[in-house]
Structure 1
Amino acid sequence: MAFLRGVSPFTFVRLPTASWPGSNMRRPLLLVVSLLALLPALELIAAGPSRVNDSDPVIHRVHNKFSEVKNISKRDVVCPSGKHRSGDTCCDLCEPGYVKDKNCTTSTKTICKKCKEGKEYMDDYNYLSKCIRCSFCDPEHGFEVDKPCNSSQNVKCRCRHGFFCNSSEPCRHCDPCSKCENGIVVEECNQTSDTICGRKQYLLWIIGVVILLVLIVVAVIIRWKYRHKGNWMPKKQINDEQRPVELKPLIYPDIDLTPHISDIAEEMTLAQVKKFVRKQGLSNPTVDRIISENMHDATEQKIKLLDSWYQEKGIKGAYRTLISSLRDLKERVLADLIEQKMACHIQNNASAHQNMNADV
């Protein structure tokens, strides 16, 4: 039907008017023929425009490509392994022992600085701006240095001689090695396990029976000897035992312990100080606060705990309280050591006071 395009429908309907039978029939017939000629044109109009040169798919393809590029530009920058994203730039990481000093840019690399040797460390590749502070091996808690801290690794602690590790790796707690009361050591204490003691079973029973028999024999001999002499016990010995013993009263002078707190703390362990101050009523929150404020210094912990007790519980009679409480806590050896040290201080102060008076 394409050949009908542009052709007027009236081109094929011109007939000689003289050939029609009558003039009245000519006009309706002409109208019918015209309608028949218009049918192809109406069909083309209903079918719509030709798609031979349709450019819509091309436009759609271009639009889709543009959208894909736009979406890609909006995606986040993904850096490869060993790089750190800073904005739209992938920066190099700092090596172990170093941390970032300045960020990288599109034209410059990451600038790193070294951690302070023996004080700070960084043990991995990183993009951090601060090093990690080295840990402290506290000998008061049974630790000693196994490997010192350097710029690329933290200090490595181990339990010192006489202690063993009582926790998983890395070791966080050292306990004193046990001592075998019977003297039989199956396995010596080492870094990771406590002393293993043996048991005297039948041997202990035999030794006990032998000692008992020996004592019975000795007692029988002594009794027989004195019975035949007419004396069960010498008179002099009887008089000595019957003589009343003169008890010397314990004298605790009222001493100002302020200048002596550090000397007293030096003689005591941290566990002994904690036990003493808690017995004297120092509250657990106060004890925990002092310990946390001086986490890595056991000597300062002891001094602060004793000073807090001394200031909070009263200065008057503190020396008497200290010695008597230590004896009640079964710390007689410690109490004797502190008494000896305080006696030396008192004597020295008295001598210095006498010298001053003599000079005056």
Structure 2
Amino acid sequence: MLLTLRGLPSEQYFLLGFHFVLVFGKDCGPAEYKTNDGQCCPMCNKGLVVRRDCTLVFSTSCMPCIRGTFMNEANGLTKCFPCSPCDPGQGLFTQTECKPTSNTVCDVLDGYYCRSYSSNSECSLAVEHTHCSPGQSTKSPGTKTTDTMCEECQHGFYSQHGVNCTAWTDCKAIGQYKTEDGSQTRDVVCGKSEESLRNRAIVLVPSSVLLFVVFIFVLFVTKGKETKENQLSPKLPVEETGFHERSPVAVEELHSETIPQL
């Protein structure tokens, strides 16, 4: 190397020295990367990584990312990044497929919210929203970033499914009385009031007696009418059958048998 440099003009010495400073200097340019031996080389573009570092003669040699990998920035790396999976078991689904220049874009499943984020602020783990218990109401429904907020039902209200708190039934307002108290999970039980039952009895008993009297009256009237008809109808002689059919001899014999002989 030294032998070949001795015959060079002074201008070329200067150019080689300037190039040496650029290539092997401490700081590289914004679009360059530094090799292991301290050389500055041009970066590879998105979707590409370094195959071979640059030399004094050749620039950086780059190669594309293979399927399942990506590179989303200019770089001096030799390997692409692996694409992120969107695991439904972690409450995620694939919104945008991975490409050589960009990573997979995951989103949160319906009914889930993100509980863990990666370094690039993307969701890496989502869990199912909390379901409010009976006796509670949903104060604030869950979103993709927040969980459901629940609150207890106040006295006089109940919730069977953990959605809304409903006021206990007012038994007096519907003309009944309370037979069982309510709780946070069930409504009160209403029954017919004693006054209502008494009023019904006051109406039903006289009505039953009146119907019975009417029935007896109709029965007597019908019976009396049948008796009167039997008394007014004439008694007619009943024709005996078989007497006229006998022969005169039989009649004479019968007469002789009935009259004793003297």
Q: TM-score, normalised by structure 1?
A: 0.35
Look at both structures and tell me which one has the larger radius of gyration over its CA atoms. Answer: 2
Structure having the higher strand fraction is 2
Q: TM-score, normalised by structure 2?
A: 0.47
